[in-house]
Chains A and B, each alone.
Chain A
Amino acid sequence: MTNGTPLLELKHIHQIYTSGTRKFTAVEDVNLTVQEGEYVALLGPSGCGKSTLLRILTGLQKPSEGMVLYRGQPLEGVNPHATIVFQTFALFPWLTVLENVELALKARGIPPSIRTPRALDLIDRVGLDGFENAYPRELSGGMRQKVGFARAMAVEPELLCLDEPFSALDVLSAESLRGELLELWTSGSIPTKAILMVSHNIEEAVFMADRIVIMDKEPGRILAELEIPLAHPRQRQSDEFRALIDDVYALLAGQTQPESVELGAAPGEIGRVRSLPDVHIGDLTGLLEHLAEKPGDRDDIYRLTEELTLDSDHVLRLTETAELLGFVTVAKGDIELTPLGETFAEASILARKEIFASRIRRLPLVRWLIGMLQRAEKHSLKSEVVKVALELEFPPEEAGKQLETLIQWGRYAEILAYDDSDEEIYLESTPEKVAV
């Protein structure tokens, strides 16, 4: 369907946030072209800047550096030819379905004699006939998102942007809405020239898009692009489809690196400080136990989403954690337990805690925190102090999350104790000497 005319071009887009004197790169040097007739998916873990990118390319947000070209012209302000379908629908709760759809047309100065029939027609086409005068609160999630689609189509956008439009819906509604969108798109019955969808669901991206742009985090950047040469409708169980999904996982999960690279630097040292993935210990244990039951202690990462009924983002975070702690190795979209991981999966609760403690003591961030606590009076610090120190490395919100993860992991490992009422972090009473 591509006819080779670039509709949208992003050139060297950077998004940098400053917090005090520190700068954090949310998006680094992104170059992207969307052609007319293309359905592009932006895929990546949470925090990779894909939603930020969507806001930049629609003109809702100005990039710190770089240029957005629309039909070859630099974009000024909000792009009038683009529209967004939001993850949380963004419907006005005090307006009826009809009023919500009409509002987008009214804002463009279209008189009621034209806009009402057009809005009614669209509501009809998304299958909400009879619900024109209902309020959003009376509708199910899937129906609300249909209103979101009707509103977006009403202004006849050339560029339709979808911001994880199916992720807040239940499985069945999401599936049927995907099918309906694809039908509208492939039949050419809407004037839309290109669709750009942000997603963290790998299967969804492979199912719908012509091209997948894979992003990574810290800093948010484009990792790879992948064409999906399959014709619609795509068969999820087909071998080609499975192979493509496996490829995407392989790209996103990466390959286990040598230890020094995996661990990164401690705060204050030269080199990038690796942040800890936001993962609960219970989930990690679950993953390792699951792998231990598999023949050969290995699995395809993409299968894990189905087997554990988790979304792909969550699975990738768990994989990253297990890899970081040396419990698994990852290569080409496959995950395999290491002997250590196997031992952990089979160990008793107390033994697990010991293994876990010995593993996290190797993490530069944990070593750094223990070192600080040992130097501190009474081996304790206010959590606020640690947070401020972390803010030298991470943006404030991320620093808070890192601290929470550190405390959670440290408590489980019985390395740290935390008193919530006076917000003090303590070293547990028998501190072992840590080699610095």
Chain B
Amino acid sequence: MGLFENILPPKERMQRLFTWGDAAALLLIAVALYGGVRLAFNAPAEIQGPTIRLEPRLLPWYALLSIGRMAAAYALSVVFAILYGRAAAYNRRAERVLMPLLDVLQSVPILSFLPVVLLSLSAILPQKVAVELASIVLIFTSQAWHLTFGWYQSLTTIPKELREASDIFRLNTWLRFKRLEFPFGMISFLWNSMMSWAGGWFFLMAAEIFTVGARDFRLPGLGAYLQEAANQGDTRAILWGIGTLILTIVALDQFVWRPLLAWADRFKLEMTESDQPPTSWFYDALHNSALMNALGRMLAPLGERLDAWLIRRSPMRTPDEAAHKRNWLNILLNLLLGGLLLYGGVRAAQMLAALPIAEWGKILLGTLATLLRVAVSLVIALAWTIPVGVAIGTNRRLAAVLQPIVQVTASVPATAIFPIFLLLVIHLTGGLDIAAIFLMLMGTQWYLLFNVIAGASAIPQDLKYTSALMGLKGWARWRTLILPAIFPYIVTGGIAASGGAWNASIVAEYEQFGGQTLSTTGLGALISQATASGNYPLLLAATLSMVLTVVLLNRLFWRPLYRLAEEKYRLE
């Protein structure tokens, strides 16, 4: 079933609920945020946004700008993932610090950083550069951790005998990367990349439309176009914008990801031929074209020269040579870093301590309100995705019809259509509340749906036969067969979904629309308001609260559930 086969519950990685590594990671985040907030004091009070024009002929230009930002962030993420993953996989001591850090970073709601990043960058850089950079940083942070974790997992699951063969045949770092690590990790890296891009659109759109108070941080791009169109109530422009967005996403899928997947099928580790290899018409066309083949022949000697040069330059190092690198410089650096962290931690604590009790009360109330919204959106999402997902997952004909529709619909980032939805519900009572839950729902339901489909299609045929023979029907069938079988997948989907919902709260609870400011009670609204009014201690406190809440929820709620799923309901 294409995409769905690749969604598997990730392996349990940590035994204990909290470790010192987690504490260090949280401290690091707190200090980084504090640094950002300190810089924000110098941010200009008023920021002029770009003029967004609604002529459809400008759309290709806007689309290109958006894609450019995505590509830049993705390139950064890939480089980061490869280096960080290698460091964590090959160095025991580094692993002990890097992996908990990654684990916390992965569960943190990235969008909550957006205001801090925007403000701090505007304080030190020219306006245009600052906003561009902020959007790239934001997308980077939404992609990098996931990619890095996947890459690290690939590296650590390379079969021992292949690693030993690389040693005994003296592959140097470059050849090992090219012939072992890269091919081995390629397929999962591609799937992770596709997911990262889907997530990236969500964050890019949010970054492109972000406006608080007198500060207009918008960026010219598809997201801003859609928002402007909704603002002016221009239905034609809205349709043009959505069309372009879908077209862009579909084109990327057809011209980039599908061909890459078809190409990467050769890196399958299985020693048997697969029944349904991924196919791509575009890849086939390229593969068979004389021009491409000629180009390949021209480039082959160049590649050979590059390999030879790299092999000569850095022959294989034996592991013990590489291990003896710990020296005083390293220790000094560690001490310096530790000192800086401690100092930053103390200063951040001071800033937080100065915050009046009343503000903390607001934060508590906001946290509860947002938590409630997240819960409601999850329940709604569960209520429709379980029956629909099971129907699609167990019925091949239905899957064939619905799958492409679901995939295209799911690919539209919720943040892009949010302004349009707002236009529709704004005049209802509790309009923003409905809109906020809707946005969260849009950000959560697809994760759940995909996971339920994956779980339902993984139910073994003989179990289905057995339950049919036993005459299980209706609720009994659901309780004994379907729910236990999809439970691990629901939990996996739920973890991702609740993360998405928290992220959405930043843009969902506070909105500037048609010249007026709308906001509701919530942690996301509080973060935006603090940004608008320049209340930086509150901004720090609210952002940290959100980080902490989500990390705690993950550890105390999701992880035990996950463990239960792993131990009890895994079909093997």
Contacts and interface: CB of A to CB of B under 8 A. Distances in A.
A111 B308 contact: yes
List of 5 A-B pairs having minimum Cβ-Cβ separation, nearest first:
A77-B318, A90-B161, A90-B165, A104-B169, A94-B183
Interface residues of A, number: 36
Interface string B170-185: 1110010001100100
A88 B161 contact: yes
Contacts of A108: 170
B572 interface: no
Interface residues of B, number: 36
Interface in B3-38: none
Interface string B307-332: 11001100111111100000000000
B320 A77 contact: yes
Given A78-B170, A107-B171, A94 B164 contact: no
A159 B308 CA distance: 26
A109 B321 contact: no
A151 B169 contact: yes
A236 interface: no
A135 B171 CA distance: 20
Given A93-B268, A106-B307, A58 B171 contact: no
Contacts of A32: none
Nearest to B315: A109
Given A86-B164, A90-B164, A109-B308, A76 B169 contact: no
A364 interface: no
Given A93-B268, A93-B271, A95-B179, A106 B311 contact: yes
Given A104-B169, A137-B271, A84 B164 contact: yes
Interface string B281-310: 000000000000000000000001001100
Interface in B72-130: none
A200 interface: no
Nearest to B311: A109
Contacts of A205: none
Contacts of A80: 170
Contacts of B307: 106
B316 A107 contact: yes
A109 B172 CA distance: 11
B341 to A, nearest CB: 30
B269 interface: yes
Contacts of B162: 90, 92
B270 interface: yes
A77 B290 CA distance: 47
A117 interface: no
Interface class of chain B by DSSP? helix
Contacts of A58: 168
B169 A86 contact: no
Contacts of B304: 112
B161 to A, nearest CB: 4
9 contacts: A60-B167, A76-B318, A78-B168, A83-B168, A94-B266, A106-B311, A108-B170, A109-B308, A421-B568
Nearest to B162: A90
B276 interface: no
Given A77-B317, A111-B308, A137-B273, 12 more contacts: A55-B164, A60-B168, A77-B320, A78-B316, A84-B164, A84-B165, A94-B268, A106-B311, A107-B170, A112-B304, A135-B266, A137-B271
Contacts of B267: 93-94
B429 interface: no
A84 B162 CA distance: 12
A103 B179 CA distance: 9
A151 B170 CA distance: 13
Contacts of B180: 92
Nearest to A88: B161
B560 to A, nearest CB: 16
Given A92-B179, A106-B175, A78 B161 contact: no
A59 interface: yes
Residue of A80, A137, A155 most packed against chain B (CB within 10 A)? A137
A227 to B, nearest CB: 29
B516 interface: no
A136 interface: yes
A131 to B, nearest CB: 15
A39 to B, nearest CB: 20
B311 to A, nearest CB: 5
A137 B170 CA distance: 24
B461 interface: no
A62 interface: yes
Given A83-B169, A112-B304, A60 B164 contact: yes
Nearest to B176: A107
A103 B170 contact: no
A86 B175 contact: no
Contacts of A155: 169
A198 interface: no
Interface in B234-257: none
A78 B183 CA distance: 24
Contacts of A137: 270-273
B183 A92 contact: yes
A62 B270 CA distance: 32
A291 interface: no
Interface in B144-166: 159, 161-162, 164-165
Contacts of B167: 60, 78
A86 B163 CA distance: 12
A151 B179 CA distance: 15
B176 to A, nearest CB: 9
A415 B429 CA distance: 70
B183 A86 contact: no
Interface string A73-100: 0001110101110111110111100000
A1 B167 CA distance: 30
Nearest to A108: B170
Contacts of B308: 109, 111
A312 to B, nearest CB: 23
A89 B271 CA distance: 12
Contact of A136 (B164, B271, B316, B319): B271
Contacts of B311: 106-107, 109
A155 B273 CA distance: 30
Contacts of A104: 169
A1 to B, nearest CB: 25
Contacts of B317: 77
A60 B164 CA distance: 7
A94 B186 CA distance: 11
Nearest to B301: A112
B312 A109 contact: yes
A70 to B, nearest CB: 14
Contacts of A82: 168
A206 to B, nearest CB: 27
A420 B317 CA distance: 47
Nearest to A58: B168
Contact of A62 (B161, B183, B273, B320): B320
B318 A78 contact: yes
Contacts of B319: 77
A92 B317 CA distance: 21
A138 B272 CA distance: 8
B255 to A, nearest CB: 24
B169 A103 contact: yes
A73 to B, nearest CB: 15
A173 to B, nearest CB: 15
B133 to A, nearest CB: 38
B179 to A, nearest CB: 6
A87 B167 CA distance: 16
Contacts of B266: 94, 135
Interface in B489-531: none
A93 to B, nearest CB: 6
Nearest to B164: A60
**Which of B167, B171, B266, B268 is the most central at the interface, judged by chain A CB atoms within 10 Å of its CB?**
B167
B102 to A, nearest CB: 26
Contacts of A87: 161
B253 to A, nearest CB: 24
Contacts of A76: 318, 320
